[in-house]
Structure 1
Amino acid sequence: MGRSSIAELLLSFAAAPAKDSFEEYQQLTAALWRDGELTELAHGAVSTVVDCLDEVADSHKGYLAILLGLLAEADPSPHGEVVAGVRKGLDRYLDLLARQPSGQPLALALLYLVGHFPEARDQIMSSVAGHRLAEDDLTRLTRVLQPLDADDVVLGRVWPSPAEWTLSEAEREHDRTWIARLSPEQVAATYAGDTLMLLGYSGAKAYWALQNGVPGRAASPDPYGDAAPENPPPFAPETIQRHTSALRCPTCHSRLIVADDVVTCTGCESQFSTAHGVLDLTGALAESGDPDDVLRNAAVQRRIGLFYENVLRPGFLRLMGSNWSNQIMPWHEDAYLVENTRPVDGPVLDLAAGAGRWTAVLTNALDGGRMIALDLNPVMLTWLRGRLPEVAAVRASALDLPFGEATLGAVNCWNALQALPDPASAITEIGRCLRPGGSFTLLTFRSSDDPIYRYFQNSFRGPGFPDGGMPLFRLEDIRTWLDQAGLTVRAESVPGTFILVTAERR
């Protein structure tokens, strides 16, 4: 395929009615760009694509803007031939943007496109100054165009938009402390990663809007997303004592006993910390770090639970679940959990519980004394203890669950499987620990069938996945892992790019 063939693809796309143009667009994109990489034809075709932007119908312009943004982003050099060719059209992009109503699909696509030209920041920001952009769109654009200032840098507190982060001075100082320990190369790499995450979110929002219309407004604050009290309550031995028949030592797998504030293995006699009410099974007591560090971090970042539930999580669901129309709202998830959690005898485990959003739902629906919240993050568990003091909080790995075989009555893993380093092994562990008839409820995400949207999904960089590419799934793989773990699927649905499954241990 040569330049003439690219011209033919452009002509076919331009001539196609709006309702029939998407297939033509996919063919055009695949000829120039594949999974974040330029094809050999891209270099010679950029100027033709830029010129075509003036010639196609308004219904087609946004798609070309997305394509041009993808081409600019794929150029391995910020001064490369492709990005330079795309940049030559900047004046016409800004002129077209100035004529679009704020928040409309074409305007969103153009914002994604012009976000790739930080060297033209002053020109771009001056052009959009009177455009009345939504605050999230404006601050996202401002940030992706902002060059790195090593003396005053914010890392990791910008997604899904800087507008949604309001840090206290104590939180800023906490960030300055850990940022100061990074090398210049690490700071630059993290800053660039944040930029790509914001571009990915902007691109996903625009691309979805071109196909479906203006995205819905963000949901109102989550009633379960409240902040924890000042300090978690002291350790209550009964929260762990009631589950000792299920709990096992992570080293020798013997049973545990509780005496005062210490939990001891009946086999190897290892002792485990219960500082701040959290049973820490990641190491013996002598190996644990300073437990006061956890409380200090929780105090400095006290509002992170609120940020997570009301800002980060909704943005994550929009990007990963294609939830731009709010088809899945928190109360839909609540209802699903309450309806599908069907425990048999034994504790109910909320796996990778985080700050306890879904633990709270299950605690309200079931006997709270049955609940165990497990996570690897001690700060999250400290917040959870503050809001749910009656729940047993356990720090342990999802890949080596500290429970005996067939000891749990039900397991929930909500919006977490994709964050685990070995999701198949986690499901195997769930199957090992569940009693026959016990339910397993799961919410996670599937990789989009659309390569462009899948690329935007893969822009997300989270803990454990600093280079992007958080593993999303195929429904077929989830089914296979469940079957191999002895679980039978009882219900499943895939709205957008969500996966919701209820399974039962055979």
Structure 2
Amino acid sequence: MNQTPVELLTAFTTAGAEQRDAAYQRLVAALWQDGRATDLAPAAVPALLTALDRAPADRQGGLILLLGLLVGAEQPGTDGESAGTDGELAGTVGKELDRFLDLLAERDAHPGRTLALLFLLSHFPAERDRVLAATEPLELSQDDLSRLTRVLQPLDPATAVLGRVWPSPAEWVLSEAERAFDRSWVDALAPAQLAATWDGDTRMLIGYSGAKAYWALRHGSTEVVADTSPHRTTELSADATGTADLTRHAGVLRCPACAGQLSVSAEGAHCTGCAADYSSAAGHLDLFERSEPADPKDVLQNAAAMRNIGLHYETVLRPAFLRLMGGNFGGQVTPADEDRYIVEHTGPVDGPVLDLAAGAGRWTAVLAEAVGSERLIALDLNPAMLTWLSGRLPEVPALRASAQTLPFADATLGAVNCWNALQAMPDPAGVIAEVGRCLRPGGSFTLLTFQQAADPIDRHFQGTFRGPGFPDGMPLFALADLRAWLAAAGLTVRDEYTPGTFAVITAERAA
């Protein structure tokens, strides 16, 4: 027998600790599904507001989060319009703003309730001054405060900062040159693109705020675990003047245009098949063949061009990404866990070891300790990342090339590692097929990526993330799909590690 929203609400507010989460999921499903409010929501919102008076603090947080989801469901999509709060649900909730501000002032509540309130209040930019004034006594972290301040801020085309705000504006430190670079491409955007990008950034920040609040409500903690790995350092050089010796691996390299043999030197490479020439600069050999010119107005690509992107990625973006996509706010998977997995499961046979989508070299450094830098090749598509990697690991040869067409001959690589990158590939099945093609029999493929969350709220927040090439959200995976792609590539799964929504897999090329 179906329960009414009021019955579901009562069940949630009175449920014991063991039944709380299941009761909450039933309540949410009745009123909100896949980012949309159900037909039952308008009549149920007044009951949710009334229940706040009698619910325990931890249940209050859940109700507040649900109200935030319902208000957010009324906001228009990222189609050039600014997010608004003039819908029926927002109007009903907005009339109770004083109640939420009063709750914000209470300091002895459940730790997740304050975060849930910040998430809800993020949807009311018209009340910006009142909301920010109410947060002043709270001594919020710069992370939380700058995120709230930005999402409540009106768009001013003359001063707008785009693409450099997630997971919080406080965590971005830009040079004057980078600010000038940003100003040049932001000023060139059409008004509709400017508004849509601003709205997309706002939604990313609200999504991260909601994900953090939802985690805190379930775990009774707001303490986010930091990356303390020895490979996380703030003393990296981003200056790379030379290219590590690739000649020792020249026999396995192939032209990405015609698959011909490459002749490699310190200056670059020459294809003996199609006579294409490739240059070496800033610490890497550039084998990337772009089929069409880059769009100078590609907002996300422009935002990824900062000189210190390698350091910023490792210290800010990567940990935040793991929290959002992997549910890792509490550090369930630590950097030491990741390092240990790579070391223990990388099983190279003869041939070079490829760090695929190596980024700034975080795992290249781990692999260098495990198998020796003389065996390694680092490959990425972002030249700024490769410059950083080469400044940090000058002994490891680096390639700029596409993962969709790996520049290696068949069955030549001894092992491949692809860590926290497959979800950013436009054709992940094709990338896995390329890995299978290039691996020698018995060679290992270690992989970290993310599953789409089974929890619909977590899944919704995962979908708020935008990245280069994914302006509408980054698609995540089902384990069954990953297994099928690996099998189709001739790879046999040897190990799976799936805490939270992580998917950490070791596969081996069949003999």
Q: CA deviation at 1:346?
A: 0.5
Q: Spell out structure 1 runs of 4+ moving beyond 4 A.
A: 297-300
Counterpart contact for 2:309–2:384, Cα < 8 Å: no
Q: 1:244 aligns with which of 233, 240, 250?
A: 250
Q: 1:423 aligns with which of 428, 447, 459?
A: 428
**2:269 aligned residue:** 263
Counterpart contact for 2:306–2:384, Cα < 8 Å: no
Deviation digits for residues 448-474 of structure 1, max 9, x if unmatched?
Answer: 110011101111111111122x11111
Q: Do residues 274 (structure 1) and 280 (structure 2) align?
A: yes
**1:72 aligned residue:** 71
Separation of aligned partners in 2, 1:298 and 1:221: 26
Counterpart contact for 1:227–1:302, Cα < 8 Å: no
What letter corresponds to residue 245 of structure 1 in structure 2?
G
**2:499 aligned residue:** 495
Q: CA deviation at 1:337?
A: 0.9
Separation of aligned partners in 1, 2:397 and 2:67: 52
Counterpart contact for 2:227–2:335, Cα < 8 Å: no
Q: CA deviation at 1:493?
A: 0.8
Q: 1:172 aligns with which of 179, 185, 189?
A: 179
What letter corresponds to residue 52 of structure 1 in structure 2?
A
Task: Indicate the RMSD between aligned Cα atoms, in angstroms.
Answer: 2.3
Q: Do residues 188 (structure 1) and 187 (structure 2) align?
A: no
Counterpart contact for 2:452–2:459, Cα < 8 Å: yes
Q: TM-score, normalised by structure 2?
A: 0.92
Counterpart contact for 1:353–1:375, Cα < 8 Å: yes
* Unaligned residue ranges in structure 2 (runs of 5+): 77-83, 295-301
**1:390 aligned residue:** 395
SS, match of residue 504 in structure 2: strand
SS, match of residue 120 in structure 1: helix
Counterpart contact for 2:374–2:395, Cα < 8 Å: yes
Separation of aligned partners in 2, 1:440 and 1:246: 18
Counterpart contact for 1:103–1:133, Cα < 8 Å: no
Separation of aligned partners in 2, 1:349 and 1:213: 41
Q: CA deviation at 1:323?
A: 0.7
Q: CA deviation at 1:230?
A: 5.4
**1:155 aligned residue:** 162
SS, match of residue 413 in structure 1: strand
Counterpart contact for 2:227–2:319, Cα < 8 Å: no
**2:298 aligned residue:** none
Separation of aligned partners in 1, 2:69 and 2:21: 16
Tell me: CA distance 1:315–1:102, structure 2 relative to 1, closer, same or farther (3 Å): farther
**1:112 aligned residue:** 119
**1:505 aligned residue:** 509
Counterpart contact for 1:102–1:132, Cα < 8 Å: no
Separation of aligned partners in 2, 1:37 and 1:298: 30
SS, match of residue 377 in structure 2: strand
Structure 1, 453-462 or 373-382: larger mean CA deviation:
373-382
Separation of aligned partners in 2, 1:384 and 1:232: 8
Deviation digits for residues 20-75 of structure 1, max 9, x if unmatched?
Answer: 12222211111111110121222232222222222222231111111000000000
Separation of aligned partners in 2, 1:300 and 1:6: 49
SS, match of residue 412 in structure 1: strand
Counterpart contact for 1:14–1:56, Cα < 8 Å: yes
Q: CA deviation at 1:169?
A: 1.8
Separation of aligned partners in 1, 2:461 and 2:312: 22
What letter corresponds to residue 22 of structure 2 in structure 1?
E
Q: CA deviation at 1:103?
A: 8.4
Tell me: CA distance 1:452–1:220, structure 2 relative to 1, closer, same or farther (3 Å): closer
**1:12 aligned residue:** 11
Tell me: CA distance 1:405–1:430, structure 2 relative to 1, closer, same or farther (3 Å): same
Tell me: CA distance 1:487–1:331, structure 2 relative to 1, closer, same or farther (3 Å): same
**2:42 aligned residue:** 43
Separation of aligned partners in 1, 2:123 and 2:468: 25
**1:124 aligned residue:** 131
Q: CA deviation at 1:298?
A: 12
What letter corresponds to residue 231 of structure 2 in structure 1?
Y
What letter corresponds to residue 253 of structure 2 in structure 1?
L
Separation of aligned partners in 2, 1:494 and 1:134: 31
Q: Do residues 85 (structure 1) and 92 (structure 2) align?
A: yes
SS, match of residue 447 in structure 1: coil
Separation of aligned partners in 2, 1:342 and 1:455: 37
What letter corresponds to residue 219 of structure 2 in structure 1?
N
What letter corresponds to residue 477 of structure 2 in structure 1?
F
Separation of aligned partners in 2, 1:262 and 1:353: 20
Separation of aligned partners in 2, 1:130 and 1:392: 52
Tell me: CA distance 1:115–1:260, structure 2 relative to 1, closer, same or farther (3 Å): closer
**2:382 aligned residue:** 377
**2:483 aligned residue:** 479
Q: TM-score, normalised by structure 1?
A: 0.93
Q: Do residues 403 (structure 1) and 408 (structure 2) align?
A: yes
What letter corresponds to residue 270 of structure 1 in structure 2?
A
Q: Do residues 437 (structure 1) and 442 (structure 2) align?
A: yes
Counterpart contact for 1:227–1:305, Cα < 8 Å: no
Counterpart contact for 1:230–1:299, Cα < 8 Å: no
**1:254 aligned residue:** 260
Separation of aligned partners in 2, 1:184 and 1:227: 40
Q: CA deviation at 1:304?
A: 2.0
Deviation digits for residues 400-421 of structure 1, max 9, x if unmatched?
Answer: 1111110100000000000001
SS, match of residue 244 in structure 1: helix
Counterpart contact for 1:222–1:310, Cα < 8 Å: no
Residue correspondence of structure 1 range 203-352 to structure 2 within 5 A: 203-220=210-227, 222-225=229-232, 226=234, 228-229=236-237, 231-236=239-244, 239-283=245-289, 301-352=306-357
